[in-house]
Amino acid sequence: MTSSELWTRETADRYDAEEAEHSSPAVLGPALDFLTELAGDGRALEFAIGTGRVGVPLRERGVPVVGIELSEHMAAVLRRKVDEATLPVTLGDMATTVVPGEFALVYLVYNTISNLLTQDEQVECFRNAARHLRPGGRFVIELGVPPLRFLPPGQVAVPFDVSERHLGFDTFDLVQQTLVSHHFTRDGADGAYRRDGSRHRYAWPAELDLMARIAGLELERRVGDWDGSPFVQDSAKHVSVWRKPV
């Protein structure tokens, strides 16, 4: 077991509705194109597959997908969409859980590596990806760039969404290199707000590259988004691809 926080049944049941925007063709299409091209004629393994937001439509594109998921409740939501024979899922953590076979692609999307709250666990995640990759295979991570430049002196909070339905902000512990994402979501017709929060460990691209080197992987490319836009100084996130040498 890792330090990752577990998704509850209530959170899992409402996850797809709350993340509907990220499942739209405009958002999801470029990611599926990117991953399909890297998988080629091989199999793909998704760490922290969740409710299958990416894995299920990637499988529908003809890529054989296998998943690892820590939360049984998230996996149960996925199982309502597709059966075990079509998309096998193993319950376990992404740093140590091993599934049979080799893969052309291992991928980890939507900031999920930050669910591992220690550097050692994040390193083990890279090692686990390398363990599953065939020679020449790729490991892909989608991760936000820590917005620390937006922190005024003496402040610890940065908002990332201020809308009628949702208020979201992160509070940072710069010593521990962790953050807590706070969410206040309008829930129901009475106008009341539901409060949620989750802990994460943020990491810079250069730190991930060092983790990859420890695991025997080489950086192949880094872009600013799934559409292949350049990764530049002001990019809010990156999609990075590391390759297992032949």
Q: 103: which DSSP letter? A: E
Q: Does one domain contain both 165 and 53?
A: no
pLDDT in tens, 147-165: 998 888 888 999 989 988 8
Strands 193-201 and 218-223: unpaired
Q: Does one domain contain both 96 and 80?
A: yes
- Per-chain mean pLDDT for the chain: 93
Q: How far is CA 61 from CA 37, 65, 68, 210, in A?
A: 11, 10, 20, 33
pTM of the model: 0.93
pLDDT(215) > 90:
yes
Residue 226 sits at φ, ψ, to 5 deg, of -65, -20
Of the pLDDT bands very low, low, confident and very high (cuts 50, 70, 90), residue 118 is very high
Q: Does one domain contain both 106 and 193?
A: no
Q: Does one domain contain both 26 and 39?
A: yes
Of the pLDDT bands very low, low, confident and very high (cuts 50, 70, 90), residue 131 is very high
Of the pLDDT bands very low, low, confident and very high (cuts 50, 70, 90), residue 189 is low
Establish if 4 belongs to a structural domain: no
Q: Does one domain contain both 191 and 99?
A: no
pLDDT in tens, 10-66: 888 888 787 777 788 888 999 999 999 999 999 999 999 999 999 999 999 999 999
- The total of other beta-carbon atoms located within 10 Å of residue 148's CB is 12
Q: Does one domain contain both 92 and 32?
A: yes
Cα separation of 106 and 159, whole Å? 31
Residue with tokens 């010593």: 175
Query: What proportion of the chain, given as a percentage, has pLDDT over 90?
Result: 76
CATH number at residue 100: 3.40.50.150
Q: Please report, to the nearest 10 degrees, the dihedral formed by the alpha carbons of residues 141, 142, 148, 150 taken in order.
A: 170
**Exposure string over 111-137, b if 16+ CB within 10 A, otherwise e:** ebbbbbbeeebbbbbbbbbbebbeeeb
Q: Does one domain contain both 35 and 94?
A: yes
Q: Does one domain contain both 101 and 23?
A: yes
Q: Does one domain contain both 130 and 24?
A: yes
Given 162, 177, 198, the domain boundary residue is: 198
Residue 185 domain boundaries: 148-198
Of the pLDDT bands very low, low, confident and very high (cuts 50, 70, 90), residue 196 is confident
Structure tokens that stand for 71 in this block: 């939360």
Domain count across the chain = 2
